[in-house]
Amino acid sequence: MRFQTNRRRFLTGLTATALTSPLATAQRQDWGEIAPYFKPPEEWRDKLGKHRSPLRFNDGSKVKTATDWAKRRNEILKDWHELLGQWPALITKPQIQVLQEKRRENFRQLKIRFKWTPVEFTTGYLLTPDGQGKRPAVVTVFYEPETAVGLGKNPHRDFALQLARQGFVTLSIGSTETTNNRTYSTYYPSIEKATVQPLSMLGCAAANAWHVLANQPKVDAQRIGIVGHSYGGKWAMFASCLYDKFAAAAWSDPGIVFDTRPSVNYWEPWYLGYHPKPWRKRGVPKADNPARGLYPHLLKTDRDLHELHALMAPRPFLVSGGSEDGPHRWEALNHSIAINNLIGVKNRVAMTNRPDHSPNLESNSVIYKFFNYFLKNK
């Protein structure tokens, strides 16, 4: 009896310590600040729009159980890889060349070069905070890698720098060469004869960047996320949906589903409308300048990107919405909530909203707290 009483006191003491530890306190604080964004406004709650439900198999039968969902998830992933083009084998043991080393604030910055596709090298910045032990990490993606480490001109896009300041290992990558020549994206095996839609190939490149981080001695490979804004938001969305080793993701105003808004331009040849050159004139598709490649086929067959979002379950993701992703996007996100409900998890789908496309201090603060809660505080 005395043993049982002492054991209960010991376990109670452990629980009390856990609940009052600095880690637990930080976790509660982070959750308290991000929790409201996991609940759709009443106006959009349970509304699914015109999107085809991912909870139906291709033969029309309904997904009823978590086991069913595992099968359906495989079906969706297979369908989309067939549509987008199969990725080449990932580079799981990357060779990294250090081009430059610099001390900044509380972290070390390395400018590195590595292979991000079987036929292309890229340069990026690896930021490693001081301290011991394994850390969470985040890949940041944009037009070029300098902006995310605070070396660019546009404010509030320095995700890698801000997360490194908070103790994350970060890897900033970007499509510098194709941004400069205005072809954007990355093309495999070549821009003349690409066999993978360029936006999907960017996802493949980010998956290879995941392996760069996973091979770092200070990185916990189970806690690697990804974030990007606009072009980078599309990139981060495709990478995290198609590659399930990303533990969490934040997508800043990419246009999360197809739309005719000029900036939600998945029809462009560097996204999902690839076709051999000469390319169609840039801009919204019209009768005299129609979309080409895969994009019109996706519309014709009633496919949309909420099917990709579904692949995230049960991994958490945050849409940092602006002018392209307003509150009405909950119609698409509610499909992912329904999947998470089916498999028995809650609070995995969130969205913030701001009036402008550009991120700001407030919207970015939620992104950082989101990663802190789901990656750092585990």
- Do 3 and 44 share a domain, yes or no? no
- Do 328 and 355 share a domain, yes or no? yes
- Do 22 and 118 share a domain, yes or no? no
- Do 79 and 153 share a domain, yes or no? yes
- Do 76 and 2 share a domain, yes or no? no
- Do 301 and 261 share a domain, yes or no? yes
Cβ 280 vs Cβ 292: under 8 Å: yes
pLDDT at 120: 97
- Do 30 and 43 share a domain, yes or no? no
pLDDT at 21: 66
- Do 227 and 281 share a domain, yes or no? yes
pLDDT at 286: 96
- Do 211 and 275 share a domain, yes or no? yes
pLDDT at 237: 99
CATH of the domain at 153: 3.40.50.1820
What range defines the domain where residue 14 resides?
Answer: 1-34
Mean predicted lDDT score pLDDT of the chain: 94
Domain tally, the chain? 2
- Do 128 and 75 share a domain, yes or no? yes
Cβ 253 vs Cβ 357: under 8 Å: yes
- Do 11 and 83 share a domain, yes or no? no
Cβ 108 vs Cβ 127: under 8 Å: yes
pLDDT at 121: 98
pLDDT at 17: 43
pLDDT at 24: 80
pTM above 0.85, yes or no: yes
Q: Tokens in use for 247?
A: 């533990």
Give the residues of the chain that fall short of pLDDT 70: 1-23, 378
- Do 78 and 30 share a domain, yes or no? no
